[in-house]
Structure 1
């Protein structure tokens, strides 16, 4: 697991290739990230399914309550079949754009 922090955003990348182990590590260490916007980068893992991403739902709820963003980067998915409770995008650039838009919305009171 690789963690990069830039400003108010933390990007967490799976470096092991074991999805379940990665989710467990992120969940265990989440207290250290909860004051930041979080990007989960799964772009290197081609075997991730829409169903696998549901493992992040408890963390998404925590982030929404804290008024922070939680975005998952995954390629090779049918984005229309992903739960609307999850924000999933195909690239890191789009993840940063989504966070920026959500920050603006929060600043405006939406």
Structure 2
């Protein structure tokens, strides 16, 4: 699987360069991405701009990966979903389960908002816990 990784202050942008995502690729991706959950910067923006084909098993794997990130207090936002894939995901009733945005910039915004939300919820200030 060909990917480009760009690490920012609060998240990694992972751009898949292959036009097709297969089950083998998502298994490899799941292993690589779960390792990020142990790092200081563990939020991920997955850019699918170049992807034109995905199967159900791979799409379901993306949902599981995203759930794993949220269970570990990390964000996982997908952006750049092509219209044909968006329609496919919608037909499979998977689109509504994904945190997805049209653009990478919007995905960054979601990650940053979720990071702020986690900081506020984790605040040990007694005034907030009263």
Q: What is the TM-score normalised by the length of structure 2?
A: 0.69
Aligned residues: 109
Separation in structure 2 between the aligned mates of residue 40 and residue 50 of structure 1, nearest angstrom: 18
Instruction: Kindly indicate whether the alpha-carbon contact (under 8 Å) linking 2:11 and 2:44 is maintained by their aligned counterparts in 1.
Output: yes
Q: Which stretches of structure 1, 4 residues or longer, exceed 4 Å deviation after superposition?
A: 48-52
Which residue of structure 2 lines up, in the alignment, with residue 29 of structure 1? 32
Please give the secondary structure, in 2, of the residue aligned with 1:23.
helix
Instruction: Kindly indicate whether the alpha-carbon contact (under 8 Å) linking 2:14 and 2:46 is maintained by their aligned counterparts in 1.
Output: yes
Which residue of structure 1 lines up, in the alignment, with residue 60 of structure 2? 54
For the aligned residue pairs, the C-alpha RMSD in angstroms reads: 2.5
Instruction: Kindly indicate whether the alpha-carbon contact (under 8 Å) linking 1:16 and 1:22 is maintained by their aligned counterparts in 2.
Output: no
Q: What is the TM-score normalised by the length of structure 1?
A: 0.80
Instruction: Kindly indicate whether the alpha-carbon contact (under 8 Å) linking 2:44 and 2:75 is maintained by their aligned counterparts in 1.
Output: yes
Pair member with larger Rg: 2
Whose helix fraction is larger, Structure 1's or Structure 2's?
A: 2
Please give the secondary structure, in 2, of the residue aligned with 1:84.
helix
5+ residue gaps, structure 2? 123-130
Which residue of structure 2 lines up, in the alignment, with residue 72 of structure 1? 78
5+ residue gaps, structure 1? none
Instruction: Kindly indicate whether the alpha-carbon contact (under 8 Å) linking 1:17 and 1:45 is maintained by their aligned counterparts in 2.
Output: yes
